[in-house]
């Protein structure tokens, strides 16, 4: 006996709609943030994303937990900048995928985050972060004191190498005849910090007895 086949058309349509919504969604959000930027230079922060058929609602940038930049294409003006200490945004170079900070200062070192949000119907939001350090280079070359131009076998060589005022403090390395000195020959002193500028100075001592192979 023939029996008619009953198909739940409503469930099939619902299943197709769910599959379509899963396939169309914001994804692949990632940031390109320079790991280190020299004080006074500009910093270009890039936020890439794939809307996958979704509609962009907004792109927001944060320093720590504080929002300083927002791009909302449906609003007029689309770009909004929120004043935060030490942050200066170059409007003409900033848009929905990048924000350019000008004349950065060491106070801006830390975590930056980009938050991308899709419009209706998904309202999908993804936030990603990256760290940036603002460095201040020493104004002068390292100075060496205590090292003489002439030595004899058996003499004790003792001298200090100092790199003044940078952020972070410079890493120092002593060399003997163009080869790195043994750690047994060096002593690294505690960093000296300037309380006014917050810059640091590093000092490393070299000490060893002169041997024939040092000539």
What is the structure's pLDDT at 194?
86
Q: Rounded to an integer, what distance in angstroms lies between the CA atom of residue 128 and that of residue 114?
A: 6
Pairing assessment for the beta strands 43-50 and 36-38 based on DSSP bridges: unpaired
Domain boundary assignment for the chain? 27-135, 143-214
Average pLDDT of the residues of the chain: 88
Q: What percent of the chain has pLDDT over 70?
A: 89
Residue 184 has pLDDT above 60, yes or no: yes
pLDDT tens, residue by residue, 48-70: 999 888 899 999 999 999 999 99
Bond into 77 cis (ω within 30): yes
Residue listed under structure tokens 């790195």: 180
Residue listed under structure tokens 């991308």: 116
Tokens matching residue 39 = 């004080």
94, 79 contact by CB (below 8 A): yes
What is the structure's pLDDT at 196?
82
Across the chain, which distance is largest between two alpha carbons, in Å? 115
Higher pLDDT, 62 or 120: 62
pTM of the model as a whole:
0.73
Lowest average pLDDT, out of 53-57, 77-81, 132-136, goes to 53-57
Domain spanning 143-214: CATH 3.30.43.10:
no
pLDDT tens, residue by residue, 14-41: 333 333 344 557 888 999 999 999 999 9
Domain spanning 27-135: CATH 1.20.58.410:
no
Domains 27-135 and 143-214 share a fold: yes
């Amino acid at each position: 006996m023939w029996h008619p086949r009953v198909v739940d058309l409503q469930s099939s349509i619902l299943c197709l709609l769910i599959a379509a919504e899963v396939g169309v969604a914001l994804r692949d959000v990632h940031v390109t943030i320079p790991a280190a930027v020299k004080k006074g230079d500009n910093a270009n922060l890039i936020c890439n994303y794939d809307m996958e058929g979704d509609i962009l609602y907004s792109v927001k940038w944060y320093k720590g937990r504080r929002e300083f930049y927002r791009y909302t294409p449906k609003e007029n003006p689309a770009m909004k900048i929120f004043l935060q200490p030490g942050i200066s945004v170059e409007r003409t170079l900033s848009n929905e995928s990048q924000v350019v900070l000008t004349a950065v200062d060491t106070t801006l070192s830390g975590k930056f985050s980009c938050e991308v949000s899709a419009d209706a119907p998904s309202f999908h939001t993804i936030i990603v972060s990256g760290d940036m350090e603002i460095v201040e280079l020493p104004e002068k070359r390292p100075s060496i004191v205590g090292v003489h131009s002439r030595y004899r076998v058996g003499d004790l060589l003792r001298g200090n190498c100092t790199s003044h005022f940078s952020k972070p403090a410079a890493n120092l390395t002593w060399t003997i005849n163009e080869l790195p000195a043994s750690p047994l020959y060096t002593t690294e002193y505690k960093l000296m910090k300037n309380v006014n500028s917050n810059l640091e100075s590093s000092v490393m001592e070299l000490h060893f007895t002169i041997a024939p192979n040092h000539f």
